[in-house]
Structure 1
Amino acid sequence: MKDSLFNKFLQFSYGSFISLFIGLGSSMLITRIISPENLGKSSMYTLAISVLMIFIVFGTDQAFVRFFYEEDMEKRPKLLFNCVEIPMIILIFVSIIILLFGSRITTYLFGEKSFTIALALVFGTIFNVFNRYGMLVIRMQQKGKRYSNAKIINKVLVFIAIILFYLVIGGQYEIIIFSNLIALVISTILIIRLEKTFWNFDNVKQLAYKHKKLDIIKFSYPLMFTTIISWLFQSFDKIALREWSTFTELGLYAASFRIIALINVIQTAFTTFWTPVCYEHYEKKPNDTQFYERMFNIVSFFMLLIAVACISGKDFIISLLGKDFKAAANIMPFLVFMPVMYTVSETTVIGVNFAKKTNWHIVIAGISCLTNLIGNGILVPKYGAIGASIATAFSYIVFFTLRTVISLHFYRIKYGLKRYYLMIMLVCLYAVFSIVNPSFIFNILVGLIVLTLMCYVYRKEIKDIYYSYVKDKKLA
């Protein structure tokens, strides 16, 4: 069926899966042309951009998502205008600060002064803002194919730019920064032009609409604080390694992270598809809780399947990055819990979002962040990158638990959490085993045992997935 959830997911996700393979190729190339130290330095640029985006966007992107279906179709450009205007004002002040204190900022981030990189931070932030909203416009209109194509184009541009910059300046950390910036600029201009009627603000001031700027700010500002805490929660592992370890150790961690980022592609694909679908379904059928229960079970099974597969094949996967990054194999097992727990939590946090109780996100992020800070503070000085991965995994389990428990207070759904926690415990034990066990073959065998147990536990969901697929094929 044309409008089936499966087809919608495919439209949104095929770009992510193709990007996964392009990203894998980029990672294999990058780890062969630059050192772990330079890879560690380049990761600080991404970290800096993510910080700047939190303060500049101010949570208005989430307001755009939440209010999108509450506005009439012809009035949605006005909602976009009001949401974008706030970050643009903040962006002016942030850009001035970066340019004034560029030497100090780049010295801390990269260990050297560079006005060029300071400019890259400014332009990277500007185009990231427009790219964020450009992709949201496509996503919320549920134009899955266009969304996927935009992601593929960006990844291809990055890959080509890395090769060209390497030929010009060699294996410096700047080639990753410049490649991502050039790809970002081109892809952002493209997606805005594709939706130029949505971005035509000539007549928006005359439109009457439901959500004023004050409504946007009221909804957004708690999310900004949540995002700040969430960023610290998600990034303190890198900060801890920067402070208590070396660029080389940070580079190994970044290399593992690049592999996990490929799994994050799946996370992003699901979230991109799920957010508009769940809001639209709630507006139409607010009492249909079985819809969300079924999605939780299916997503749980698939994400656990991915986790076991990644842990089983960690040595082979990391070998693709080259011999200089071999030590990253033992960092990877616990990092897989990041996309697993986050993706599954997207199906259980819906009660908070439906009730518009965004202040609870601050509590969730705050407790998870504190867990991460304590864990990294204890483990990183002694165990380095492996310690950071373990601390991060545990904090994401806490994150999932808080999101789920608080959400159930506002919207009751029978998720069957005991089964899921049992499987998480089993995968955790397998991750520990894979780190201490040097045998590749033995690791694979244990992984097959875990996989068999998981298939037995989720046998009902496997049958449902199979019969749903067969039904869709017959109706197509």
Structure 2
Amino acid sequence: MKTRTVIGFAVGPVATALISLVAVPAVAWAFSPEDVARYNLLQIFVSFGVLFATLGLDQGYVRHFHEAPDRAVLLRSCVIPSALLFIAVALPSMIVSEPLANLFFGTADARVFPVALACCAAAIVSRFLSLILRMEERALAFSASQLIPKAVFLVAIGLLVLLAVDRDFLSLSYALLSSWVAVAVITGWSTRAHWQRALRVRTDRGLVRVLIRYSAPLIFAGLAYWALTATSAMALRYLSSLSELGVYSVALTFAGAAVVVQTIFSVVWAPVVYRWVAERSDLARVDTVTQQVLAVVTVVLVLVGSFSWVTDILLPPAYSDVKYLVVGSILQPLLYTLSEATGIGINITRRTVWSVWCTLGALAVSGALNVALVPHLGAKGAVIATTIAYFVFFVGRTEASVRTWRPSPRGRLYAVTALSVAGALMTVVWGPETGRWYAVGWAAMMPLIVYVFRDQWGALRRLRSPGMVAS
């Protein structure tokens, strides 16, 4: 993959993270913590709707894209089953909109549930159309499909504030709907030649069966990972309070900035390793890159711990605990990124069932800890449970890769990550008792981190060499 293409794919996550740094405080100031919590539940609902309705066929489209004799038939054969399933579930559920709105979002406003379904529909359309851009390596257009929802959502929030309309969950839902509709329209225009051809061809039922056989295992893996990410929010919804969920949601959204690291690394890493394997290169380089990722992950965590107090300036007083929670929350995407490096052997050996088992193990840990901690600690308990679960997920994927592919040194890897988790959880639990001294403690760690990873910093400067990113 060329450097220019990598940069193009990175534009979306980076710009999205920057917009989120503006959007999160805007929503926090404009809406109550309870409505912020409901907004988080709506996002979880939409992500589940996309996962459920696509049946894993989005991954089937990616897998068969380059091999398909007719890509229009492939697109239609992926979209039609998803559309039929969504319609079959959505239309009957409209009859009981009010009970479902109360069940999922904690509101008696029956208008909310149809809006949520409309968000799902637009998100499903956007998902398939953005994959066309991804597979054609139209990097900037794909990045735009990630950037547009956040930008439109921020504009919508600004209009809600300026026009002095009711600032409630329904208006927040409409803002989210506008963002998804915008990206569906724009990606639809960018890919119009593809879906217009797909409208004129016939669905290949044989291909549908092939796609579903391929995608069925991926559905379970996707559902397991969705459950891992959603368990804490669900526990707060039903075992604690919406205000605690609101605080947790804001902390998690700020921590989502680390997804930039995850996304960029995921785009580059797998193709590079697959090429190394195909060329029978020295795979010791995998261990070298893993240590470099560990260095970056640790530095990001230390920086967040040192400066998380800035959230007090950006957010209303109701979110004063966010500065402590975000230190634990950001470890979740960082540990996932690290597991992408250490667990690559699972994909190379095609033993992907191990990923499912690792996810299920982490999910079991998350569920048990959330049930035990959330009723007593609220948002703190949710962060503790999820962070420990992601550490279990990381260790599981690492060990599975070692056993299915090749051994690798793990002493420093586990020592640094365990200490990072311990420090983050200590901040979550005891941070409020230390004032700003918790941040001083994290800042004091930076010279040590620079020294421990001194060999990795020089190597990182060589990542832009043609051997790493050029195809």
Q: After superposition, what is the alpha-carbon deviation per residue over 1:117-154, rounded to whole angstroms, capped at 9, x for unaligned? A: 12112211111111112222222222222222332332
Which residue of 1 is the match for residue 184 of structure 2? 188
CA contact (8 A) 1:49 1:125 kept: yes
Matches within 5 A, 1:118-267: 118-166=113-161, 167=163, 169-199=165-195, 200-201=197-198, 205=202, 212-267=207-262
Structure 1 residue 4: Cα displacement: 4.1
Structure 1 residue 442: Cα displacement: 3.3
Identity %: 22
Which residue of 1 is the match for residue 417 of structure 2? 424
1:305 aligns with 2:299: yes
CA contact (8 A) 1:139 1:272 kept: no
- Amino acid of the structure 1 residue aligned with 2:124: V
Structure 1 residue 279: Cα displacement: 8.1
- Amino acid of the structure 2 residue aligned with 1:176: L
Evaluate the alpha carbon distance shift between residue 105 and residue 269 of structure 1 in structure 2; reply closer, same or farther with a 3 A threshold. Answer: farther
- Amino acid of the structure 2 residue aligned with 1:212: L
Structure 1 residue 29: Cα displacement: 0.9
- Separation in 2, partners of 1:348, 1:68: 28
Structure 1 residue 231: Cα displacement: 1.8
CA contact (8 A) 2:224 2:356 kept: yes
- Amino acid of the structure 2 residue aligned with 1:335: S
Which residue of 2 is the match for residue 434 of structure 1? 427
Match of 2:446 among 445, 451, 459: 451
Q: After superposition, what is the alpha-carbon deviation per residue over 1:337-391, rounded to whole angstroms, capped at 9, x for unaligned? A: 2101111222333333344444333322211111101111111112111111011
Evaluate the alpha carbon distance shift between residue 321 and residue 410 of structure 1 in structure 2; reply closer, same or farther with a 3 A threshold. Answer: same
Match of 2:42 among 45, 51, 59: 45
Which residue of 2 is the match for residue 387 of structure 1? 381
Which residue of 2 is the match for residue 103 of structure 1? 98
- Amino acid of the structure 2 residue aligned with 1:322: P
- Amino acid of the structure 1 residue aligned with 2:311: I
- Amino acid of the structure 1 residue aligned with 2:166: G
Structure 1 residue 452: Cα displacement: 2.5
- Amino acid of the structure 1 residue aligned with 2:90: S
1:333 aligns with 2:327: yes
* 2:320 partner SS: helix
CA contact (8 A) 1:98 1:122 kept: no
- Separation in 2, partners of 1:297, 1:77: 43
Structure 1 residue 30: Cα displacement: 0.9
Structure 1 residue 324: Cα displacement: 2.0
- Amino acid of the structure 1 residue aligned with 2:159: L
Matches within 5 A, 1:63-102: 63-69=60-66, 71=67, 75-102=70-97
- Separation in 2, partners of 1:106, 1:279: 46
- Separation in 1, partners of 2:402, 2:79: 33
- Separation in 2, partners of 1:312, 1:427: 13
- Separation in 2, partners of 1:48, 1:12: 27
Which residue of 2 is the match for residue 378 of structure 1? 372
Give structure 2 stretches of 5+ with no counterpart: none
Deviating more after overlay: 351-360 vs 172-181? 351-360
- Amino acid of the structure 2 residue aligned with 1:67: H
Structure 1 residue 470: Cα displacement: 8.0
TM value normalised by structure 1: 0.88
CA contact (8 A) 2:133 2:141 kept: yes
Structure 1 residue 259: Cα displacement: 0.7
- Amino acid of the structure 2 residue aligned with 1:197: A
Structure 1 residue 291: Cα displacement: 5.5
RMSD: 2.8
1:15 aligns with 2:12: yes
- Amino acid of the structure 2 residue aligned with 1:399: F
Structure 1 residue 31: Cα displacement: 0.8
Q: After superposition, what is the alpha-carbon deviation per residue over 1:97-135, rounded to whole angstroms, capped at 9, x for unaligned? A: 321221211012233333321211221111111111222
Match of 2:356 among 353, 358, 362: 362
Deviating more after overlay: 358-367 vs 391-400? 358-367
CA contact (8 A) 1:219 1:358 kept: no
- Separation in 1, partners of 2:346, 2:134: 21
* 1:331 partner SS: helix
Evaluate the alpha carbon distance shift between residue 432 and residue 114 of structure 1 in structure 2; reply closer, same or farther with a 3 A threshold. Answer: closer
Which residue of 2 is the match for residue 117 of structure 1? 112
Match of 1:324 among 298, 309, 318: 318
- Separation in 1, partners of 2:93, 2:435: 48
Structure 1 residue 299: Cα displacement: 2.7
* 2:445 partner SS: helix
Structure 1 residue 36: Cα displacement: 1.0
Q: After superposition, what is the alpha-carbon deviation per residue over 1:305-351, rounded to whole angstroms, capped at 9, x for unaligned? A: 21221122222134312222112222222111210111122233333
- Separation in 1, partners of 2:376, 2:323: 18
* 1:101 partner SS: helix
CA contact (8 A) 2:76 2:203 kept: no
1:24 aligns with 2:18: no
- Separation in 2, partners of 1:68, 1:318: 47
Which residue of 1 is the match for residue 342 of structure 2? 348
Deviating more after overlay: 96-105 vs 404-413? 404-413
